[in-house]
Structure 1
Amino acid sequence: MKNKTFWIFALLTLSIISIAYSYTRFRFTNKEQKTIAECHDVPKTGEASAFLPTVENKKKPAGKAPKDMVWIPGGEFSMGSNVEDESLCSLSGVTKDAAPIHRVYVDGYYMDKTEVTNEEFEKFVKATGYITVAEQKPTKEEFPTAAEEDLITGSVIFTPTPTAVNLNNFLQWWSYVGGADWKHPLGPQSSIKGKEKYPVVHITYEDAEAYAKWAGKRLPTEAEWEFAARGGKTGEIYAWGNVLKPNGKFQANIYQGHFPIKDGDTGEDGYKGIAPVAQYSPNAYGLYDVAGNVWEWTSDWYSVDYYKSLKESGNVAKNPQGPNAYNDPKDPTQIKRVHRGGSFLCTDQYCTRYMVGTRGKGEIRSAANHLGFRCVKSI
C-alpha cells in the first residue's frame, strides 16, 4: 500500500510515538540483552524526603459503592516520582516530566475496580450504536497528504521483530493493521470471543469519554488516578511497595525477557501479552492492574512542565484538573492527554512506567492494542 508507513506512523498513530518510550543508542546481542535485563533490582531514586505523608480524608459516603467500584477517600499526598532513570537499566532523564514532587489534595470519589472490559464496552456499544475512532474511515480533511487507498479503518498493533534490534526506532515493532479495533484486537481475523474479561483496547480519548458519559461516570484526573494507585501509601516506587517482586513473585502483567523480539516475552508473570483483568492482588484500595496490562487515559492535557508550575506556586494544588493547554516540545503540533499505569509491554530494558508516579502521553485520536481506561464517579 503506497506511503502506508509514512502517513500512518507520521499522522495517524501518534499515541505510539508519544507514549513514554525513550530513544537509546544500544544495539543488543543476546548476551548484552541478558546483561541489560539484569542491570538493577531497584531503580535509581532521588531524595525520599521529598515525599511527605499521605493524609486521607476520614469522611465516607453513606450506602454501598456502585457496582464494581470502590471508594477512594481522597486527601493530601505527595504526587510525582523521584525515579531518576527511565528503566532499570539507567536510561537517564526521561522521567523528568514526573518531577518535581509536589503536594496535591483531591476530594473522595468512586473508581472502577478494574480497567473497563470487553464485555462492559460491548454493552455500551449495543445500547448506543457507538462506533469507535478505529472503526471510522480516516478522511482527507484529517490527513490531506494521504493517498485515498491508504485511508482505511484500523489501529496499531505491537509486532515483535525477528531478531534483536536497536531500541532507537520504535517503528520497528509497531504496525498499522487495517481492520484492527476493539472487537478485533489483533486484526480482522481476531475476535474477543472468550476474552470478555480482558480490558478493552484500541480506545481513543473520545471513545473513553463517550463510554464514561453513558455509564454516568467520567475519566479520572491525573491526580485522582495517582492518589488511587498509591493506595494511601507514601512515596513508594510501585503500587505494591518498593520491591518489584516481593517474595520472588510478580505483582503485575509486564514484559520479561528480550524486548521486542518474537517470543522474547518469557511470561514469568503468568502472561505473554495482555491478561484478563484482576489476575494479581489489588492495591490497598481494592484496585486491580494500576500497573501494567494496559495504559489508561486520564482527563488531563499533557504538559511536560506542569508539575514544575504546581511546585513553584508554593501551594497545595486542590483538585487539579491539569494544565489549560497541552505542551510537548518534542511533538508540539499534536494534541495529547496523559496516560497512566504502563502496559504489558513495559520492560526493564526500555520503559518501566508501571512505576506509580511516572507518566505517559498520547495523541487524543490515536489508539493501540495496549491502551484502555477506567472510570471514576464523584459523589
Structure 2
Amino acid sequence: MIRVRGGKSFVGTDSPEIPQDGEGPAREVTLADFGLEAQTVTVERFAAFVQETGYVTEAERFGWSSVFFSDEAHLAGASAVGSRLPWWHKIDQSTWRQPEGPGSTVEDRLDHPVTQVSWADANAFAAWVGGRLPSEAEWEHAARGGAEHKRFPWGNAEPNDEIVMANIWQGKFPRLNTMLDGYERTAPAQSFAPNSLGFYNMSGNVWEWTRDPFRIRSLSKPARLRNAQALTHSEKVLKGGSFLCHISYCYRYRIAARMGLSADSAASNAGFRVAYDI
C-alpha cells in the first residue's frame, strides 16, 4: 500500500477526448489522505481469498461472462454479445479461474490481474483485506501523482504502435495485434515503469472498478438519457483502459477517461485495486 497525500485536487479534464463519456469539465475536489495498493489484485491473491472464504463470483453464479476474441471464426459467430461490438462474446463458464472460458487457465498468470470479477466481487475482496474500492477522484489523483495536470501516469508523451509505455493494443484493432509490448492479453500486475508515486499499470492492462456510480455532469438530452440508462443498470465507473485500448478505437487509457459498466458485469479485461482509509 502507498500512502497518498490528499488536499485540493481535481477530477476530469477541460479538454475531453470523448465528451459523451463525461470526461469533463474538470471539477475541484478536496481529498483526505488515503492508501492505495501499488498494483491491481492478482489472480494469486484472489485465489487465496476464495480458498479462505469459499466466495463464489457473480460470473460463476450466472454461468457465463464476456470474453474478447478477434479471430475470424469468432467475429463471424453468432455468440457476439452485441452486433456493434462483434469481438465481445458471451462465453459459458468463463470465470476468474478460466478467463477465456473452458480450456483456458490462470496457472501461468498468477501474478497477472484477476479478471472476470464484478463490482460486488471486488468489494467483497476489498472488505476481506480491510479496504475498499477507490473513488474516481482518488484514482485519478494517484494516477497523476498528485494535483498535477498529466494526460497519462508517466506524463504527456503519447504511446503509439512503436513506442511502448503500457499494455495497450498495437496494430490495427481488432484483427491485428503486433504485441510489441509483449502481451496479447493481460501483463503481470507489476510490469512497465510505475508512475511518480510508485503505482503500476494505471494506464492499460485492465480496467479498474471504482466505488462511484457512473454519471455524466451535463444538462444535455444525450447526457440525461445516458444517466437514466446508467441508473437503470446500476452502472459503476471504471478507470484506466485495458490491453484492448487503441487510439483509433478506445482512446481511454488517459487518466481522465472513464467507462460505465453495470455492477454485475464481468469481463476478461476488467479488474481492480484496493484503497484504504488512513
Instruction: For 1:140-155, list aligned pairs within 5 A.
Output: 153-155=63-65
Is 1:158 the counterpart of 2:83? The answer is no
User: Is 1:361 aligned to 2:271, yes or no?
Assistant: no
- Confirm or deny that 1:104 pairs with 2:29: yes
| 1:82-125 Cα shifts (integer Å, max 9, x gaps) | 33433xxxxxx434x01111111111111111000000000100
For the pair 1:215 / 2:125, whether they are aligned, the reply is no
| Identical-residue share of aligned pairs (%) | 36
How far apart, in 1, do the equivalents of 2:179 and 2:243 lie? Answer: 10
Partner of 2:144: 230
Structure-2 residue corresponding to 1:319:
none
Per-residue Cα deviation, 1:107-145 (whole angstroms, up to 9, x for no partner) = 1111111000000000100000000001114xxxxxxxx
Give the C-alpha shift of residue 329 in structure 1.
4.0
Q: Which residue of 2 aligns with 1:94?
A: 20
Give the match's secondary structure for 1:328. helix
Distance 2:240 2:30 in 1: 20
Amino acid paired to 2:66? V
SS in 2 for 1:155: strand
Confirm or deny: 8 A CA contact 1:73 1:108 kept in the other structure.
yes
Output aligned runs, 1:294-333, within 5 Å: 294-305=206-217, 328-329=227-228, 333=232
- How far apart, in 1, do the equivalents of 2:194 and 2:84 lie? 32
CA offsets per residue over residues 267-321 of structure 1, 9 Å max, x none?
Answer: 122222211112110011100011100000000111112xx59xxxxxxxxxxxx
User: How far has the Cα of 1:77 moved from its partner?
Assistant: 1.6
Greater Rg over alpha carbons, structure: 1
The two structures, once aligned, show a CA RMSD in angstroms of 2.2
Unaligned runs of 5+ in 2: 77-81, 220-224
TM-fit CA distance, 1:188: 1.5
CA contact (8 A) 2:16 2:24 kept: no
Relative to 1, partners in 2 of residues 1:135 and 1:332: Cα closer, same or farther, differing over 3 Å?
A: same
Inter-partner Cα distance in structure 2 for 1:251 and 1:107: 30
Kindly state the Cα deviation for residue 162 of structure 1 after the two structures are TM-superposed.
2.3
User: Whole-Å Cα distance in 1 between the matches of residues 182 and 3 of structure 2?
Assistant: 29
Q: Does 1:284 align with 2:196?
A: yes
Distance 2:230 2:9 in 1: 31
CA contact (8 A) 1:244 1:250 kept: no
SS of residue in 1 equivalent to 2:227: coil
2: distance between equivalents of 1:190 and 1:81?
39
- 1:196 and 2:100 correspond: no
Q: Deviations over 1:37-81 (max 9, x none)?
A: xxxxxxxxxxxxxxxxxxxxxxxxxxxxxxxx1111112123212
Distance in 2 (CA, whole Å) between partners of 1:252 and 1:340 is 15
TM-score (norm 2): 0.89
**What amino acid maps onto 1:74 in structure 2?**
G
Partners of 1:109 and 1:377 within 8 A in 2? yes
Q: How many residues align?
A: 266
CA distance in 2, matches of 1:84, 1:211: 33
Residues in 1 aligned to 2:95 and 2:182: alpha-carbon distance in whole angstroms:
25
Query: Structure 1 length normalisation: TM-score?
Result: 0.66
Question: Which amino acid counterpart does residue 83 of structure 1 have in structure 2?
Answer: S
Name 1:352's counterpart in structure 2: 251
C-alpha spacing 1:109/1:365, structure 2 compared with 1 (3 Å): same
Q: Which has the higher strand share?
A: 2
Q: Sort the Cα spacing of 1:331 and 1:302 in 2 relative to 1 into closer, same or farther, 3 A.
A: closer
Residues 123 and 208 of structure 1: is their aligned pair in 2 closer, same or farther, counting only changes over 3 Å? same
In structure 1, what is the Cα distance between the partners aligned to 2:271 and 2:84?
20
Q: Deviation string for 1:129-182 (max 9, x for gaps)?
A: 000001114xxxxxxxxxxxxxxx0111001142999xx943311111111000
What does residue 85 of structure 1 align with? 17
Instruction: Answer yes or no: is the 8 Å Cα contact 1:302–1:327 preserved in 2.
Output: no
